[in-house]
Copies of this chain bind each other. A is one copy, B any other.
Amino acid sequence: MSALSAPAEIIERVDAALAEVLSSSAADFARISPSAAELIEPIRAFTAKGKRIRALIAWWGFELAGGSASAEPGIARVAASVELLHAAALIHDDIIDDSDTRRGRPAIHAAYRTGHAEQGWSGDSELYGIGAGIIAGDLCLTLSEQVYTASGLARLTTPSAIRHHDDFRREVMVGQFLDIRLQAAPVAAEEVSERAREVLTYKSAKYSVEHPLLLGAALGGADDALLGRLAEFGLPLGRAFQLRDDELGVFGDPEVTGKPAGDDLRQGKKTVLVGSALTRLDAETADWFSSRLGAPDLTDAEIGRMEELLRSTGALAAFEQEIDSEIARADVALGRLDIADADRDRLAEYIRRLTRRSA
C-alpha cells in the first residue's frame, strides 16, 4: 500500500499552514501598529512562491517512517516551518551575497531599499534595506520555530527529533559561514575542491535533502536503523542536486536558469567543479584561472576560455561522473528501503526531477 502523499496535495496543505501562521501574525502585529504590515506583507508575498522541495521531503520522511498526515495533521505545520526557515535563509543570503533579485523579483532587502529611496525617506537607503531585510529574515526564523512548536506532533520532544531539528538549523548556518569564508580567504589550489565540498555538504546537500528527510522521519517515529538508511538515500541525493546546480551555474542555459551564462565564474565562486579544474591545470594556467575568477573586469572571452579549460582538463567529465555516481548511490539506497512499489517510483521520479540537467 502506498504511504506517500502526492506532491500537489502536500503543497496545498503546506501553503494553507503558511497562510495561517502569517495571517495570524499579521493580525497580531496590526494591533501593535499599522506600519507593522510593511514587515509581514513582504514575507507573505515571498513565501507564497517556492518549489517547496524541503517541505515535500520532510513530509515524505514523516510518511516513510510510518507517520500519518491524517492522524497527525500537524505535519503540515512542520513542513511550513521548514519553508519559513528556508525563507529566512534566502532573505539573509541575498543580503550576504549582495544579490538584488530572487525568484525573478526584487530581493526583500532590495525592495525595502527601493521603497526608502523612492519615498525620499531620510538616512541611507542601502542601510535601511539591509536593516529591514535582516529583521524580516529574523522574523521568518522565529515564525519557523513558532509554527514548528505549534504543530503539536507527539514526537516533537523526543531526543531524535530535537537533535535533527537543531542540526538542520545550526549546520546550514555553519555551511553558509564556511561559504563566505571560502570565497574570501586565500586557499591553495589543491584545497579548493575539498573546502567547496564541505560547503556543498553542509550548506546544501544536508540542508536541502538529508536534514528535512530525517527530521520528518524522526517525527514519524523512525528508529536509528531507518534513520541511517534514509541518510544513505538523502545525502547522495542532496549532493547530486547541488552538484548539478553548480554545473548549471557555469554551463546552464540562461533561458532556463534565469542567470547569465557562466554566472558562477563571474561571481568568482570557488566550487567543487572549479577546484577540480585547478588541480588539473599547470601552475601558470591555474594561477591565471584563480586570479581572473570573479574579477570585476572579467570578459566574455575569458569566461569562454575558463569553460573550455573545465572541459579540456576533464574536470567537467569527472564532475558529471560524480553526479551520476551520487545519483546511483541514492538509487541503491532507495532500493534498500522497505516501501511500496508506487512509493519507490514516486521517489525515483523525484530523484530525476531534482537532478535533471535543465534547471
Chain A residues near B (Cβ < 8 Å): 25, 28-29, 32-33, 35-36, 38-39, 88, 92, 95-98, 116, 119, 121-124, 127-128, 130-132, 134-139, 141-143, 145-146, 149-150, 156-157, 162, 165-166, 169-171, 173-178, 180-181, 183-186, 195, 198, 202, 268, 294
CB–CB B130/A96 < 8 A: yes
Docked CA distance A149–B143 (Å) = 16
Q: Hey, which chain B residues are within 8 Å of A169, CB to CB?
A: 142, 145-146
CB–CB A139/B170 < 8 A: yes
CB–CB B170/A25 < 8 A: yes
A119 nearest CB neighbor, chain B only: B185
Knowing A149-B157, A170-B146, A173-B139, the reply to whether A185 touches B130 (Cβ < 8 A) is no
27 A-B pairs within 8 Å (CB atoms) are namely: A28-B170, A32-B171, A32-B175, A33-B178, A33-B198, A35-B178, A36-B174, A39-B173, A92-B134, A92-B135, A96-B134, A121-B185, A122-B183, A122-B184, A123-B184, A130-B130, A131-B180, A134-B137, A135-B173, A139-B170, A141-B141, A143-B170, A146-B166, A149-B157, A149-B162, A150-B162, A157-B157
CB–CB A184/B96 < 8 A: no
Docked CA distance A174–B143 (Å) = 12
Q: Hey, which chain B residues are within 8 Å of A39, CB to CB?
A: 173-174, 177
CB–CB A32/B143 < 8 A: no
Given A95-B134, A123-B268, 9 extra CB contacts under 8 A = A32-B198, A32-B202, A33-B195, A119-B185, A134-B134, A138-B141, A145-B145, A146-B169, A149-B165
Interchain nearest-CB distance for A216 vs B (Å): 18
Interchain nearest-CB distance for A118 vs B (Å): 12
Interface centre among A28, A150, A156, A178, by most chain B C-beta atoms within 10 angstroms, is: A178
CB–CB A36/B149 < 8 A: no
Interchain nearest-CB distance for A33 vs B (Å): 5
A97 nearest CB neighbor, chain B only: B131
Interface centre among A98, A174, A202, by most chain B C-beta atoms within 10 angstroms, is: A174
CB–CB B178/A131 < 8 A: no
Q: Hey, which chain B residues are within 8 Å of A97, CB to CB?
A: 131
Q: Hey, which chain B residues are within 8 Å of A121, CB to CB?
A: 184-186
CB–CB B32/A128 < 8 A: no
Docked CA distance A136–B142 (Å) = 15
Q: Hey, which chain B residues are within 8 Å of A170, CB to CB?
A: 25, 28-29, 139, 142-143, 146
Interchain nearest-CB distance for A290 vs B (Å): 10
Docked CA distance A275–B176 (Å) = 42
A124 nearest CB neighbor, chain B only: B98
